[in-house]
Structure 1
Amino acid sequence: MINENKPVATVTGLYRGTFSGLEPLTKDTPLTLDEVRRNPVFYELELDPDEEDTDLIVDIIYDNMSPMRLQDLFRGSDIPKGVRFWPDWFDIPPYQKMLDMDGHRVYPRAPGIHTVRIRTARRKITQRGKKRDFSPENHGYISPVYEFAIAADTSENRE
Protein backbone atom coordinates (compact mmCIF):
# COMPACT_ATOMS: atom_id res chain seq x y z
CA MET A 1 0.00 0.00 0.00
CA ILE A 2 1.44 3.39 -1.02
CA ASN A 3 1.36 6.19 1.54
CA GLU A 4 -0.32 9.06 -0.29
CA ASN A 5 0.78 11.54 2.40
CA LYS A 6 4.49 10.73 2.14
CA PRO A 7 6.60 13.90 2.73
CA VAL A 8 7.79 15.64 -0.40
CA ALA A 9 11.17 16.31 1.31
CA THR A 10 12.76 15.39 4.62
CA VAL A 11 15.70 17.00 6.41
CA THR A 12 18.62 14.63 6.91
CA GLY A 13 21.18 16.87 8.64
CA LEU A 14 22.65 20.25 9.55
CA TYR A 15 26.07 21.34 8.35
CA ARG A 16 28.59 24.18 8.57
CA GLY A 17 30.41 25.35 5.49
CA THR A 18 34.21 25.14 5.56
CA PHE A 19 36.98 25.54 3.00
CA SER A 20 37.06 21.75 2.68
CA GLY A 21 33.30 21.36 2.23
CA LEU A 22 30.33 20.75 4.50
CA GLU A 23 30.88 19.33 8.01
CA PRO A 24 28.13 18.02 10.33
CA LEU A 25 26.96 20.63 12.82
CA THR A 26 26.14 19.32 16.30
CA LYS A 27 26.23 20.66 19.83
CA ASP A 28 29.69 19.05 20.13
CA THR A 29 31.07 21.09 17.19
CA PRO A 30 30.21 24.71 18.09
CA LEU A 31 30.07 27.57 15.64
CA THR A 32 32.33 30.50 16.46
CA LEU A 33 30.78 33.94 16.79
CA ASP A 34 32.56 34.89 13.55
CA GLU A 35 30.96 31.92 11.73
CA VAL A 36 27.55 32.94 13.09
CA ARG A 37 27.98 36.49 11.77
CA ARG A 38 29.38 35.54 8.36
CA ASN A 39 28.27 32.05 7.31
CA PRO A 40 24.92 30.38 6.72
CA VAL A 41 23.99 27.03 8.23
CA PHE A 42 23.25 24.33 5.65
CA TYR A 43 20.51 21.76 5.92
CA GLU A 44 20.25 18.73 3.67
CA LEU A 45 17.00 17.70 2.04
CA GLU A 46 16.22 14.21 0.84
CA LEU A 47 13.74 14.73 -1.97
CA ASP A 48 10.95 12.27 -2.73
CA PRO A 49 11.79 10.89 -6.20
CA ASP A 50 8.06 10.32 -6.87
CA GLU A 51 7.47 14.08 -6.57
CA GLU A 52 10.12 15.01 -9.13
CA ASP A 53 8.36 18.10 -10.48
CA THR A 54 7.01 19.44 -7.19
CA ASP A 55 8.09 22.84 -5.88
CA LEU A 56 8.73 23.18 -2.14
CA ILE A 57 7.88 25.57 0.65
CA VAL A 58 10.24 25.61 3.64
CA ASP A 59 10.00 27.20 7.09
CA ILE A 60 12.49 27.19 9.93
CA ILE A 61 11.68 27.22 13.63
CA TYR A 62 14.72 28.51 15.51
CA ASP A 63 14.82 28.29 19.33
CA ASN A 64 11.03 27.79 19.50
CA MET A 65 10.38 31.16 17.81
CA SER A 66 7.58 31.62 15.33
CA PRO A 67 8.28 29.86 12.02
CA MET A 68 10.27 31.97 9.59
CA ARG A 69 9.60 31.59 5.90
CA LEU A 70 12.55 30.54 3.77
CA GLN A 71 12.78 30.93 0.01
CA ASP A 72 10.43 28.71 -1.99
CA LEU A 73 12.39 26.07 -3.89
CA PHE A 74 11.49 25.40 -7.50
CA ARG A 75 12.36 22.05 -9.07
CA GLY A 76 14.53 22.41 -12.14
CA SER A 77 16.00 25.79 -11.16
CA ASP A 78 16.53 26.00 -7.38
CA ILE A 79 16.58 22.19 -7.11
CA PRO A 80 18.26 20.49 -10.08
CA LYS A 81 16.40 17.53 -11.52
CA GLY A 82 17.90 14.14 -10.74
CA VAL A 83 19.68 15.29 -7.56
CA ARG A 84 18.59 13.14 -4.62
CA PHE A 85 20.02 15.26 -1.79
CA TRP A 86 19.98 19.01 -1.92
CA PRO A 87 21.65 21.30 0.61
CA ASP A 88 19.99 24.63 1.22
CA TRP A 89 20.86 27.21 3.87
CA PHE A 90 19.55 29.67 6.44
CA ASP A 91 21.06 32.47 8.50
CA ILE A 92 20.86 32.55 12.28
CA PRO A 93 18.50 35.44 13.10
CA PRO A 94 20.54 38.65 13.29
CA TYR A 95 18.86 39.93 16.45
CA GLN A 96 20.33 40.27 19.93
CA LYS A 97 17.00 39.46 21.58
CA MET A 98 13.63 38.11 20.38
CA LEU A 99 10.47 36.52 21.78
CA ASP A 100 9.59 32.86 21.26
CA MET A 101 6.07 31.54 20.54
CA ASP A 102 5.27 31.63 24.27
CA GLY A 103 6.51 35.21 24.72
CA HIS A 104 9.76 34.27 26.46
CA ARG A 105 12.92 36.15 25.59
CA VAL A 106 15.48 34.26 23.52
CA TYR A 107 18.92 35.33 22.37
CA PRO A 108 19.48 33.88 18.89
CA ARG A 109 23.21 34.58 18.61
CA ALA A 110 24.16 34.06 22.24
CA PRO A 111 26.73 31.41 23.17
CA GLY A 112 25.16 28.10 24.19
CA ILE A 113 22.92 25.36 22.78
CA HIS A 114 20.31 26.34 20.18
CA THR A 115 17.58 24.34 18.44
CA VAL A 116 16.26 24.21 14.90
CA ARG A 117 13.30 22.44 13.31
CA ILE A 118 12.63 22.66 9.59
CA ARG A 119 9.32 21.99 7.94
CA THR A 120 8.67 21.30 4.28
CA ALA A 121 5.65 20.74 2.04
CA ARG A 122 4.52 21.00 -1.57
CA ARG A 123 4.17 24.50 -2.92
CA LYS A 124 0.78 25.08 -4.44
CA ILE A 125 0.30 27.85 -6.96
CA THR A 126 -2.73 28.98 -4.95
CA GLN A 127 -0.54 29.43 -1.82
CA ARG A 128 1.32 32.41 -3.22
CA GLY A 129 0.95 35.23 -0.67
CA LYS A 130 -1.43 33.19 1.48
CA LYS A 131 -1.11 30.95 4.49
CA ARG A 132 1.23 28.07 3.70
CA ASP A 133 -0.03 24.51 4.16
CA PHE A 134 2.36 22.11 5.95
CA SER A 135 -0.33 19.49 6.63
CA PRO A 136 0.18 15.77 5.88
CA GLU A 137 -2.42 16.14 3.12
CA ASN A 138 -0.02 18.56 1.42
CA HIS A 139 2.87 16.12 1.92
CA GLY A 140 4.11 18.23 4.85
CA TYR A 141 6.95 17.29 7.16
CA ILE A 142 8.59 18.71 10.27
CA SER A 143 12.09 17.63 11.16
CA PRO A 144 13.19 16.35 14.53
CA VAL A 145 14.81 18.95 16.78
CA TYR A 146 18.41 19.57 15.76
CA GLU A 147 20.71 20.99 18.42
CA PHE A 148 23.86 22.95 17.74
CA ALA A 149 26.12 25.19 19.81
CA ILE A 150 27.53 28.67 19.50
CA ALA A 151 30.88 29.06 21.26
CA ALA A 152 31.66 31.91 23.61
CA ASP A 153 34.15 34.49 22.30
CA THR A 154 37.46 33.63 23.96
CA SER A 155 39.65 36.03 21.97
CA GLU A 156 39.62 38.58 24.83
CA ASN A 157 41.17 36.04 27.22
CA ARG A 158 44.16 35.23 24.97
CA GLU A 159 47.52 36.86 25.54
Structure 2
Amino acid sequence: MPPAERLFTATCWGWIVTALSVNGHLYPVLLGYQANAQAGKWAQEQGLDADRFYGMQVAGTALDFYKGHPVRWLSNAGEARPVIAPGVVIYTDHLRFQELLEAGLAPSSVITLPNYEVQLLGLDFILPQTRDAALNARYLLKY
Protein backbone atom coordinates (compact mmCIF):
# COMPACT_ATOMS: atom_id res chain seq x y z
CA MET A 1 0.00 0.00 0.00
CA PRO A 2 1.48 3.40 -0.99
CA PRO A 3 2.38 5.77 1.90
CA ALA A 4 -0.32 8.31 0.96
CA GLU A 5 -2.98 5.60 0.98
CA ARG A 6 -1.76 4.31 4.38
CA LEU A 7 -1.87 7.84 5.79
CA PHE A 8 -5.39 8.35 4.46
CA THR A 9 -6.58 5.00 5.88
CA ALA A 10 -4.98 5.69 9.28
CA THR A 11 -6.53 9.15 9.39
CA CYS A 12 -9.99 7.80 8.55
CA TRP A 13 -9.73 5.13 11.24
CA GLY A 14 -8.51 7.75 13.71
CA TRP A 15 -11.56 9.92 13.05
CA ILE A 16 -13.93 6.95 13.28
CA VAL A 17 -12.49 5.86 16.65
CA THR A 18 -12.61 9.45 17.94
CA ALA A 19 -16.22 9.90 16.81
CA LEU A 20 -17.30 6.61 18.40
CA SER A 21 -15.54 7.54 21.65
CA VAL A 22 -17.11 10.99 21.81
CA ASN A 23 -20.58 9.72 20.93
CA GLY A 24 -20.35 6.66 23.15
CA HIS A 25 -18.81 8.23 26.24
CA LEU A 26 -18.82 12.03 26.23
CA TYR A 27 -22.27 12.77 24.81
CA PRO A 28 -24.21 10.63 27.34
CA VAL A 29 -22.43 12.48 30.16
CA LEU A 30 -23.23 15.87 28.60
CA LEU A 31 -26.87 14.87 28.16
CA GLY A 32 -27.29 15.05 31.93
CA TYR A 33 -26.63 18.78 31.71
CA GLN A 34 -29.06 19.39 28.84
CA ALA A 35 -32.28 20.25 30.67
CA ASN A 36 -34.41 20.00 27.51
CA ALA A 37 -33.48 16.34 27.12
CA GLN A 38 -33.91 15.58 30.83
CA ALA A 39 -37.31 17.31 30.95
CA GLY A 40 -38.52 15.43 27.88
CA LYS A 41 -37.36 12.09 29.33
CA TRP A 42 -38.99 12.86 32.68
CA ALA A 43 -42.31 13.84 31.07
CA GLN A 44 -42.29 10.69 28.93
CA GLU A 45 -41.55 8.51 31.98
CA GLN A 46 -44.41 10.18 33.86
CA GLY A 47 -46.78 9.49 30.97
CA LEU A 48 -47.78 13.14 30.61
CA ASP A 49 -49.85 13.69 27.47
CA ALA A 50 -49.90 16.86 25.37
CA ASP A 51 -52.63 18.43 27.52
CA ARG A 52 -50.63 18.02 30.73
CA PHE A 53 -47.08 19.03 29.73
CA TYR A 54 -46.16 22.46 28.37
CA GLY A 55 -43.03 24.47 27.69
CA MET A 56 -43.12 28.14 28.64
CA GLN A 57 -40.64 30.13 26.56
CA VAL A 58 -38.24 27.17 26.49
CA ALA A 59 -38.22 24.48 23.87
CA GLY A 60 -35.92 22.55 21.61
CA THR A 61 -35.59 19.50 19.48
CA ALA A 62 -34.23 17.44 22.40
CA LEU A 63 -37.33 18.26 24.46
CA ASP A 64 -39.63 17.19 21.63
CA PHE A 65 -37.54 14.12 20.77
CA TYR A 66 -37.38 12.70 24.28
CA LYS A 67 -41.01 13.56 24.99
CA GLY A 68 -42.08 11.77 21.83
CA HIS A 69 -44.05 14.64 20.31
CA PRO A 70 -43.80 18.44 19.89
CA VAL A 71 -44.36 20.04 23.29
CA ARG A 72 -47.01 22.75 23.33
CA TRP A 73 -45.76 26.30 23.87
CA LEU A 74 -46.95 28.91 26.36
CA SER A 75 -45.85 32.50 25.88
CA ASN A 76 -46.75 34.05 29.23
CA ALA A 77 -48.67 33.67 32.49
CA GLY A 78 -51.87 34.78 30.76
CA GLU A 79 -51.68 31.79 28.40
CA ALA A 80 -50.68 29.48 31.25
CA ARG A 81 -53.57 30.38 33.57
CA PRO A 82 -56.33 28.56 31.59
CA VAL A 83 -54.32 25.34 31.20
CA ILE A 84 -53.05 25.05 34.77
CA ALA A 85 -54.91 22.34 36.66
CA PRO A 86 -53.95 19.49 38.97
CA GLY A 87 -51.56 17.16 37.14
CA VAL A 88 -50.27 19.79 34.68
CA VAL A 89 -46.52 20.36 34.46
CA ILE A 90 -44.88 23.44 32.93
CA TYR A 91 -41.21 23.35 31.90
CA THR A 92 -39.63 26.79 32.03
CA ASP A 93 -36.67 29.00 32.94
CA HIS A 94 -36.07 31.25 35.95
CA LEU A 95 -37.57 34.39 34.41
CA ARG A 96 -40.86 32.69 33.45
CA PHE A 97 -41.00 30.86 36.79
CA GLN A 98 -40.91 34.26 38.52
CA GLU A 99 -43.59 35.56 36.14
CA LEU A 100 -45.88 32.66 37.10
CA LEU A 101 -45.27 33.26 40.81
CA GLU A 102 -46.01 36.98 40.44
CA ALA A 103 -49.27 36.08 38.66
CA GLY A 104 -50.28 33.96 41.66
CA LEU A 105 -49.69 30.67 39.83
CA ALA A 106 -47.51 28.88 42.37
CA PRO A 107 -46.84 25.20 41.67
CA SER A 108 -47.38 22.49 44.27
CA SER A 109 -43.81 21.24 43.71
CA VAL A 110 -40.73 22.15 41.68
CA ILE A 111 -38.01 20.01 40.12
CA THR A 112 -34.83 21.94 39.28
CA LEU A 113 -32.72 20.74 36.35
CA PRO A 114 -29.17 21.90 35.57
CA ASN A 115 -28.88 23.34 32.09
CA TYR A 116 -25.96 24.01 29.78
CA GLU A 117 -26.28 24.63 26.06
CA VAL A 118 -24.05 21.68 25.12
CA GLN A 119 -23.94 22.70 21.47
CA LEU A 120 -21.96 25.76 22.69
CA LEU A 121 -19.50 23.65 24.69
CA GLY A 122 -16.68 25.74 26.11
CA LEU A 123 -13.93 25.65 28.70
CA ASP A 124 -16.24 27.21 31.29
CA PHE A 125 -18.16 23.93 31.33
CA ILE A 126 -15.33 21.50 30.65
CA LEU A 127 -13.26 22.69 33.62
CA PRO A 128 -14.81 21.23 36.80
CA GLN A 129 -13.89 24.28 38.90
CA THR A 130 -15.93 26.64 36.67
CA ARG A 131 -18.75 24.26 35.69
CA ASP A 132 -21.24 25.36 38.37
CA ALA A 133 -20.95 28.99 37.26
CA ALA A 134 -21.62 27.95 33.65
CA LEU A 135 -24.89 26.19 34.50
CA ASN A 136 -28.29 27.81 34.69
CA ALA A 137 -31.49 26.32 36.04
CA ARG A 138 -34.60 25.11 34.29
CA TYR A 139 -37.69 24.05 36.17
CA LEU A 140 -40.45 21.49 35.99
CA LEU A 141 -43.38 23.13 37.77
CA LYS A 142 -45.92 20.59 38.95
CA TYR A 143 -49.45 21.83 39.59
More helix, by proportion: 2
For normalisation by structure 2, the TM-score amounts to 0.21
Which protein has the bigger strand share?
1
TM-score by length of 1: 0.20
